[in-house]
Amino acid sequence: MRIFGLSFKVIKTLLTTQYAYMLEYRIEIALWALSGVLPFIMFSLWSQNDVGNSFGLNDIGLARYFLSAFLVRQFSVVWVVFSFEEDSLSGRLSPYLLQPLHPLFRYVASHLAEQATRLPFAIAIAITFFILNPSSFWLPSLPQLFLAYLSTHFAFTIAFLLQSLVAALCFWTEKSSALERLIFVPYLFLSGLLVPLSAFPSNILKVAMLTPFPYLINFPAKILSGMPVDIFNGFLAQILWISILIPAVNILWKLGVKRYTAMGA
Amino acid sequence: MHRYFKTIRLFWSTAFASQLEYQLNFLIELLAMLGTLLGSVFILSLFFTGGRQLGDWTWESALVIQGVYTFLDGLTNALLRPNLTEIVNYVREGTLDYVLLKPIDSQFWLSVKKFSFAGLPEIILGLSIVFWAAIQSGSTLSPYSLFVFIISLLIGFVILYSVWFLIAASSIWFVKTWNATEVLRALLAAGRYPISAYPVIMRFIFTLVLPVAFLTTFPAEAILGELKFNILFSGLILSSLFFIFSRFFWKFALKHYTSASS
């Protein structure tokens, strides 16, 4: 069986080696999980100032939304640009390009392995959150959980493709991590990390929904927290973005590699 | 003392020359900064829907806090981030040895070596917002309140620098402290909003444990002429303690430093 042109054996090797790498950095990953506290800070603000009611969420709803946003972010964080920039500047990229394996797959594997390593920390943080806010405790139903899981994976895929697009620019400019900031800014404000998007004024919401960002946090978090959400259109948008981004990344990447060999040779 | 000023001048003029080559970077930073500011003001405005206030702060006075935050963020980007994230690399590559051999204080050298000019627009814009919003909310900008404002900004910056330097210095043991600074950055983001808007327990943490309140809320109160003298006084003591501790910690860390080769 082959997935994306990779044999099962290759996939297994990639994932197990990357997982072994990641286990070495458990403390770092724990810290990184902690650095996702932003949704909790925002939760304390929104609930304290009783604003939630104005966009139709009581304190329990807010608590569930922000915990979900935290969890979705934990499993959709992408840092391809940074790994790729380091690999390309240090010259490690050249041997990767020679292998009969697209370098991006290596990064996919390391992200998935990192998510697996992060799972226990995320669960620990969620449990702590429930101990501090016992009234907000809930268990999503199995179908809910499955849909949330699926949409989080799609969110990860979109984020990964977006960053790969920026990473490919590394072939032209050495500083693509600076460019990464340019997609991080709309991500921060339009993804729903700081506030559920239902709080947005309707005209701004309409514009936001045309970008890929709401589907990175807001959509999966709404499913997970059990808020009413248009599941069909949400998934449709996610799949649409993925199908736009895959060819774009492919083309830019091919152009970039051509340029790269031209420069090195 | 004169030697230290001369060193800074030399460092920063070199930095300026080398950064002139990366004008695109500058442009990107500028765009990212404007986007961030726009986004934060937008999110802040959501708190005020329906004539609400945020922790007893009016819209204009809450904007003063945004300005102070932007200013400090600019300073961070200009001075703290370029220098303090490098410490990890010095430790990892063993080049810290060369720094230690120089006839100048190593903490000073490590803290001012670089200056990123892309942080300057943010510093200027931050201050402009502070003054504009302060006037809008009825502050008279008396010489006294200006003076207290400058002192409280200094207090905030010293605390910020000390905490950041402490984490960076711990790389002598842990080598990779990048993620720890990310946790710090995430917590500092709390400073975008007035401390009185947080639940009691977090107000306590943000005042005494990780004194975010001293970074943004108190300077904002200073320019609005509302800062109590005892807070200013405790800020002076707290920031001195933080700074002394960072020096002490650096000396302590160096005792444990066994360069990359030995």
Note whether B175 contacts A: Cβ–Cβ < 8 A.
Answer: no
Asked if B65 reaches chain A (Cβ–Cβ under 8 Å), the answer is: no
The beta-carbon neighbor of A34 closest among B22, B36, B183 is: B183
Q: How many CB pairs under 8 A join A and B?
A: 89
Of the partner residues B42, B43, B55, the one whose CB lies closest to the CB of residue A49? B55
pLDDT confidence bin for B260, thresholds 50/70/90: low
Helix (H), strand (E), coil (C) string for chain B: CHHHHHHHHHHHHHHHHHHCCCHHHHHHHHHHHHHHHHHHHHHHHHHCHHHCCECCECHHHHHHHHHHHHHHHHHHHHHHHHHHCHHHHHHHHCCHHHHHHCCCCHHHHHHHCCCCHHHHHHHHHHHHHHHHHHHHCCCCCCHHHHHHHHHHHHHHHHHHHHHHHHHHHCHHHHCCCHHHHHHHHHHHHHHHCCHHHCCHHHHHHHHHHCCHHHHCHHHHHHHCCCCCHHHHHHHHHHHHHHHHHHHHHHHHHHHCCCCCCC
Q: What is the pLDDT along chain A (265 residues), one digit of tens a residue?
A: 566 667 778 778 888 888 877 777 777 777 777 788 899 999 999 988 877 777 778 889 999 999 999 999 999 989 888 888 777 777 777 777 777 777 788 888 888 888 888 888 899 999 999 999 899 999 999 999 999 999 999 999 999 999 999 888 877 776 777 788 889 999 999 999 999 998 999 999 999 999 999 999 999 999 999 999 999 999 999 999 999 999 999 999 888 888 776 544 4
**pLDDT (tens digit per residue) in B155-202:** 999 999 999 999 888 877 776 666 677 788 888 889 999 999 999 999
Tokens of B250: 């650096």
Predicted local confidence at residue A265, as pLDDT:
42
Q: In angstroms, what CA-CA distances link A70 with A196, A218, B115, B156, B186?
A: 12, 11, 34, 29, 13
In whole angstroms, how far apart are CA A83 and each of A14, A90, A177? 16, 11, 10
CA distance A175 to A167: 9
From the list A182, A194, A199, the residue facing B32 with the nearest CB is A182
User: ∠A120-A124-A125 over CA atoms, to 5°?
Assistant: 120
B interface mutation test: which of A21, A35, A170, A191 has the most B CBs within 10 A? A35
Q: What is the pTM of this model?
A: 0.90
User: What is the interface pTM, i.e. ipTM, of the complex?
Assistant: 0.88
pLDDT at B5 > cutoff 80: yes
Determine whether the interchain pair B187/A182 forms a contact, defined as Cβ–Cβ distance below 8 Å: no
Cβ burial of A131 (10 Å; 0-12, 13-18, 19+) is: exposed
Q: What does the alpha-carbon distance between residue B89 and residue B85 come to, in Å, rounded to a whole number?
A: 8
Q: What is the mean pLDDT of chain B?
A: 89
The per-residue pLDDT for A129 is: 93
Per-residue tokens: A168: 């490919």
**pLDDT exceeds 50 at position B206:** yes
What are the pLDDT digits (tens) for B99-127?
888 888 888 888 888 888 888 999 999 99
Q: What is the mean pLDDT of residues B208-235?
A: 93
* B42, B176, B186 ranked by CB distance to A35: nearest: B186
Six token digits for residue B74:
């600019």
Of all residues in chain A, the one with the smallest CA distance to B53 is: A49
- Token pair, residue B66, equals 């945004």
Among chain B residues, the shortest Cα distance to A30 is held by B179
* CB B145, CB B130: distance < 8 Å: no
Task: Confirm if A160 and A111 have CB atoms less than 8 A apart.
Answer: yes
| Residue A84 token pair | 């790729």
CB contact under 8 A, A45 and B32: no
Six-digit token pair at A149? 């899981």
